[in-house]
Structure 1
Amino acid sequence: MPGAAYFDGGDYSYLITEGIAVDTTRAFTVGVWVRPEVTGQEMVAVSQSGIWSAPNFALGATTDGDGKPTWGFALPTADGQVTVTGGTPEAGEWAHLAGVYDPATGSARLYVDGTAVAARDAVVPADTALWHFVMGEALDSDGYTFGQKWRGDLADVRVWNADVPAAELAELGRRKPRPFAYWPMESVQTLENGIARIPDTHHNIGFILGGDARLSNEEPLAGSADITLDGDGDHLFSDIPPLNTDRSWAVSTKVRLHGAPDRDMAVLSQTGWQADAFTLRYHAADQTWRAVLAHADSADADTTQLSAPAPGGAQNLLLQYDEKARQVQLYVDGILADSAPYAETDAWQAGSSLQAGRDSAADGVGAHFLDGDIDEVRTWEGALSEEEIRAVP
């Protein structure tokens, strides 16, 4: 994540302000993106110190009553300390934490990745002494550590002197999609070995032209050119896998079929060794777009399928997996056409190529070759919101 700070858990690995950041006897909210190196132990991500007392608050990783890793938001009370716990930390994985104190209702709430996971009754004493705001541990005024030091990354630390609405925390805790690859299909490079490739604009991932696939300037779908395929072995394939298909992802393209096809034809797919993690194809029997997602890299794996009308002409297709929502979604021309449940256990990493114009290339055997035009292929790490999908060119 851009702008992250790393804390190694050492004696001097923390940041501290010159004064208080917020009056914790009144309504307040604190939020932070965290990526722990380890789990199963107490680690304070952000806190505000007390004077000769427990911290004004502490937000970070802890363990539950059974010793299992969890997130925690701790506040002082007249009877000691109350800790709200919930969610499950994963070493090396980003999560957004937010702690909210609402004195009007006498409650503390913990949010993980924008979702409220737990709440408890809590009343912070009005005479609580306030001290420095600290990142990376929890200290009293004499420098004594109350919780183990943070080991990992912290980013986007925010503090509000208000009870931030749940909708705002949901947006802050949403993992924003990151554009990963984009092929505008405007030009073709010819390498020394004669291979023709289209470079993407982000990471120099090549889309290799196979068969007689060629650049065309005749009525391009976008810009000055697109790629035309004749359905007889033409296709494109990436020279490295551009999508991590076991986490949230999205892929989109513009497509135009030639004529009125009487057979199934693939638009996009990402292949494993025995199956496609997903394939997005035209289904001739009922003239629909059909997304098929295998639940494992196996030829006989169960699948999840989505469909949408394919009336002909040029259309924009977008398929995505939202890990948090446990859903796969198919959008046509920026409108949600179909969705279905898709569990985390159904997702797996397809370690081969992204393909355009064919699918089922496990063991090197291609199928469902497209007779049509392809343009503007994009991939993202993470799932897009509906607003972001409508903004895709």
Structure 2
Amino acid sequence: MHVRFAVRTALVAALLSAAVTATPSASAADNHLASRQPTGAPAAVAAQTPPVAAWRLDDRNRSERAAAWAGSYAGLPGPGVRFGDQGPDGNMPGAAYFDGGDFSYVNTQGAAVDTTHAFTAGVWVLPEETGRDMIAITQSGITSTSNFSLGTTTDAAGNPVWSFTLPSADGESRVTGGTPQAGEWAYLAGAYDPATGKARLYVDGAQVATADAAVPEDTILWNFVMGRDGDDRSKRWQGSLADVRLWDSVVAPAELAELGRRKPWLRAYWPMESAETCCDGLTIIPEVDHRADFLLGGDAHITTDDALAGTGSVSLDGDGDYLESNIPPLNTSRSWAVSAKVRLHGTPDRDMAVLSQLGRQADAFTLRYRSADRTWQALLAHADEPDATTTQIGGPAPGGTQTLLLQYDAKAGDVQLWIDGTLADSAPYAAADAWEAVQFLQAGRDSAADGVGAHYLDGDIDEVRTWAGALSGEEINSL
């Protein structure tokens, strides 16, 4: 299908240039959830236990060292490691990418923690594959058995599982549980408590498995390594790692739960307060940090009369009016959320779209008003195909101003529609059904089967936001 209504290539380039060169504005950044996560800083945790060794792995691209923010040893990367990748909170640089090849590792020159005593190890991990043994972090041993390792393996049935391995008197003890998902971040932690003789495995802050363990007191400690087995240099990690921490104690489950909560990252925010003239007289609404712009199409315009929020809203008359972003502000193949305030003009007798994101042949999602039963409806396509199967959820549209939020939670495997801070509906949506829509975010219309704009909105729209990651109920209520 040819997308005839997309912004011309030259126009997109001009808008991108304007977005790059514009001076960021902080005027609306103090709104709820409007500010970005601080680059490079670990998440704030109440009564945080200080680690004895830690590497954020948020070093700049082409860095020759992985800086340690706790402990004595910087990391020494092999040529198969690339710094500067996006981390679990959306920051760039925020992670190191390991290509899984022979030189995919970060070595250190000493032991990070004494594993014969109580200790905890934690790391953010994103595996690109899950069907084999891969080590995210380990501490080498003189023998073939490491001091410990965290990573992935497969169970007896061949299913991928997370793994925490410790040495034992007759070889090794292994704790396994949870289900790794390729391309998805998870917070992996292992804790060993010799006082209780237990090893525990945590995924995203939740305990998923426990087993008896007793690390021999004469275990010889060796160097800490990221991305591969330290002894035989196998089981190489393919994917990303971030925020490695080791403690010389058993860290409380509540602290691991906080560390393991992936904070959603605000990708884009349009408060719709004002418009600017740009690029041969075209009208745009800049994103609050000038990371993206909305192009106003048709007769779409800012109105200050009875704004939905703040001092302005965008008014659309339903006859060819729309907004279209100059970049795709969502990766719809991973967890995401999008929200907007909307008010319909009267009681429409036809379907109308509020938000949609366009792929090459279909919309990944459409959030719209359904006239037949006067409801809000979300449709999520299972493939970038015109006739793809869709998952549909909905909720009441009683009229007036409403705040709509649609999100996909890859870990939970579902999609949710929230209306005015209340969960209206949800449905299963498998990772295999999610795909990345590489075109534009649209407000006020979606795409018809032949690629032209359709279902134009007759109403007002305001406060459009997009996030990487799924929001909690508390965060949604703050909107």
TM-score category by the smaller chain?
0.7 to 0.9
What does residue 27 of structure 2 align with? none
Q: In 1, Cα distance between the equivalents of 2:224 and 2:462?
A: 51
* TM-superposed deviation, 1:249: 0.8
Partner SS state of residue 345, structure 1: helix
Q: In the TM superposition, what is the alpha-carbon distance from 1:262 to its structure 2 partner?
A: 2.9
Aligned length: 385
Q: How does 1:1-393 map to 2 (within 5 A)?
A: 1=87, 2-5=93-96, 10=103, 13-17=106-110, 21=113, 23-35=114-126, 44-48=135-139, 54-61=145-152, 71-86=162-177, 87-88=179-180, 90=182, 94-103=185-194, 105-128=196-219, 130=221, 133-135=224-226, 153-166=240-253, 168-202=255-289, 204-392=291-479
Instruction: Answer whether contact 2:136 2:228 (CA < 8 A) is retained.
Output: yes
In structure 1, how many angstroms separate the alpha carbons of the residues matched to 2:240 and 2:229? 16
The Cα offsets for residues 50-105 of structure 1, whole Å up to 9 and x where unpaired, read as: 57784332223556668887643211112121223454474x76443211224455
Q: Distance in 1 between matches of 2:144 and 2:388?
A: 57
Q: Output the CA distance in 2 between the equivalents of 1:288 and 1:11.
A: 52
Per-residue displacement from partner, 1:288-320 (whole Å, max 9, x unpaired)? 222122222333332222222222211111100
Q: Which amino acid in structure 2 is aligned with residue 24 of structure 1? A: T
Q: TM-score, normalised by structure 1?
A: 0.84
In 1, the alpha carbon distance for the partners of 2:180 and 2:152 equals 9
Amino acid at match of 1:243: L
Distance 1:12 1:303 in 2: 42
Q: What amino acid sits opposite 2:169 in the alignment?
A: A
- State how far apart, in whole Å, the 1-side matches of 2:382 and 2:239 are: 32
For 2:151, what is the secondary structure of its paired residue? Answer: strand
Give the secondary-structure state (helix, strand or coil) at the position aligned to 2:450: helix
* SS, match of residue 388 in structure 1: helix
SS of 1:169's equivalent in the other structure is helix
Task: Tell me the distance in 1 between the aligned counterparts of 2:213 and 2:450.
Answer: 59
Q: Secondary structure at the match of 1:320?
A: strand
Change in Cα spacing, 1:162 to 1:334, as seen in structure 2 (3 Å) is farther
Cα separation, partners in 2 of 1:348 and 1:145, compared to 1, 3 Å: closer
CA distance in 1 between counterparts of 2:455 and 2:350 reads: 8
Aligned equivalents of 1:37, 1:164: Cα separation in 2: 28
C-alpha RMSD of matched pairs (Å) = 3.2
Residue 380 of structure 1 and its aligned partner are, at CA, apart by: 0.9
Letter in 2 for 1:313: G
* 2: CA distance, partners of 1:356 / 1:115: 38
Code of the residue aligned with 2:201 in structure 1: it is L
Provide the C-alpha distance between the structure 2 equivalents of 1:376 and 1:77, rounded to a whole number of angstroms: 57
8 Å CA contact retained: 1:99, 1:109: yes
Cα deviation digits, residues 109-152 of structure 1 (max 9, x gap): 3334445454433222345455665545666xxxx667667676
Q: Secondary structure at the match of 1:204?
A: coil
- C-alpha distance 254-262 of structure 1, shift in aligned 2 (>3 A): same
CA distance in 2, matches of 1:4, 1:272: 28
AA paired with 1:241? P
Residue deviations 1:217-250 (CA, integer Å, cap 9, x gap): 1121222211001111211112232221121110
SS in 1 for 2:405: strand
More strand by share: 1
Residues 360 and 29 of structure 1: is their aligned pair in 2 closer, same or farther, counting only changes over 3 Å?
same
Residue type of the alignment partner of 2:190: G
| Residue deviations 1:251-277 (CA, integer Å, cap 9, x gap) | 001111122333322111122344322
Letter in 2 for 1:15: T
The secondary structure found in structure 1 opposite 2:446 is coil
Query: What is the rounded CA distance, in whole Å, between the counterparts of 1:339 and 1:38 in structure 2?
Result: 28
Identify the range of structure 1 (164-173 vs 294-303) with the bigger mean alpha-carbon deviation.
Answer: 164-173
Distance 1:196 1:361, change over 3 A: farther
Give the conservation status (yes or no) of the 8 Å contact 1:25–1:125: yes
CA–CA distance in structure 2, aligned partners of residues 11 and 4 of structure 1: 14
Aligned-residue offset at 1:208: 1.4
What's the % identity of the aligned pairs? 64
Distance 1:273 1:71, change over 3 A: same
Contact 1:190 1:196 survives alignment (8 Å): yes
Structure 2, unpaired ranges of 5+:
1-86, 88-92
Tell me the distance in 1 between the aligned counterparts of 2:453 and 2:133: 51
Residue 206 and residue 361 in structure 1: after superposition, are their counterparts in 2 closer, same or farther (change >3 A)? farther
Shift of 1:211: 1.3
User: In 2, Cα distance between the equivalents of 1:251 and 1:386?
Assistant: 14
Distance 1:248 1:343 in 2: 11
- Distance in 2 between the 1:360 and 1:56 partners? 56
Q: Report the Cα distance in structure 1 between the residues aligned to 2:464 and 2:337, rounded to whole angstroms.
A: 11
The TM-score normalised by the length of structure 2 is 0.70
Aligned to 2:471, what secondary structure does the other structure show? coil
Q: Is the 8 A contact 1:294 1:346 kept in 2?
A: yes
Structure 2 Cα separation of the partners of residues 137 and 317 of structure 1 = 45
Secondary structure of 1:364's aligned partner: coil
- Which segments of 5 or more consecutive residues in structure 1 lack a partner in the other structure? none
- Is the 1:57–1:73 Cα contact (8 Å) retained in structure 2? yes
